[in-house]
Amino acid sequence: VMCCCGPCAMYRRSALLSLLDQYESQFFRGKPSDFGEDRHLTILMLKAGFRTDYVPDAIAATVVPDRMGPYLRQQLRWARSTFRDTLLALRLLPGLDRYITLDVIGQNLGPLLLALAVLAGVLQVALTATVPLWTVVMIASMTMIRCTTAAV
């Protein structure tokens, strides 16, 4: 997996200690970074040659946002982490499972294409006062593709 989620992740002590310096000195654009630490640590593990596994019957408890504002802030942090750490992981993709590669591409291209479609739709409404039907179809299609990929 490309991200061992914080409350659900377990690491061998020796593996974690071997990467601790890199993990604690996480920088982005020259500044210390403290978001997306679980994804960052997972990618460091993969780069070092360690394996990550998904355990479907594992059980963990965590605190989740119960209001829209905190939920949106969480999603923004996760999105920033995804985009930033994908740059670190690009060289790893050829050696990983094809599904993981597809998932990484979908996690990054999907939101960018969605933002582009929404922007183009807003511009069409503003400039031509017509309903951008193709934008609605594109957004619906992208949503269905992403949901199908996640379900598979």
DSSP string, the chain: -----GGG----HHHHHHHHHHHHT-EETTEE--S-HHHHHHHHHHHTT------TT---------SHHHHHHHHHHHHHHHHHHHHHHGGGGGGS-HHHHHHHHHHHHHHHHHHHHHHHHHHHHHHH----HHHHHHHHHHHHHHHHHHH-
Share the mean pLDDT of the chain.
82
Q: Inform me whether the pLDDT recorded for 107 exceeds 80.
A: no
> How high is the pLDDT of residue 17?
93
Rg of the chain in Å (alpha carbons):
18
Q: How confident is the model at residue 148 (pLDDT cuts 50, 70, 90)?
A: confident
Mean pLDDT of 58-84: 84
Q: Inform me whether the pLDDT recorded for 97 exceeds 80.
A: no
Percent of the chain with pLDDT over 70: 97
> How high is the pLDDT of residue 18?
94
Give residue-wise pLDDT tens across range 28-55: 777 777 777 888 888 888 888 888 888 8
Domain boundaries, the chain: 1-96, 109-151
> How high is the pLDDT of residue 110?
74
Percent of the chain with pLDDT over 90: 7
> How high is the pLDDT of residue 15?
93
Q: How confident is the model at residue 150 (pLDDT cuts 50, 70, 90)?
A: low
Cα(108)–Cα(84) distance, integer angstroms: 10
Q: Inform me whether the pLDDT recorded for 104 exceeds 70.
A: yes
| Residue type (1 letter), 96 | L
Among 35, 37, 46, CA closest to 76: 35
Task: List all residues 6 or more positions away from 117 whose beta carbon is below 8 Å from its beta carbon.
Answer: 135, 138, 139, 142
Q: Out of 2-6, 11-15, 119-123, 148-152, pick the least confident.
A: 148-152
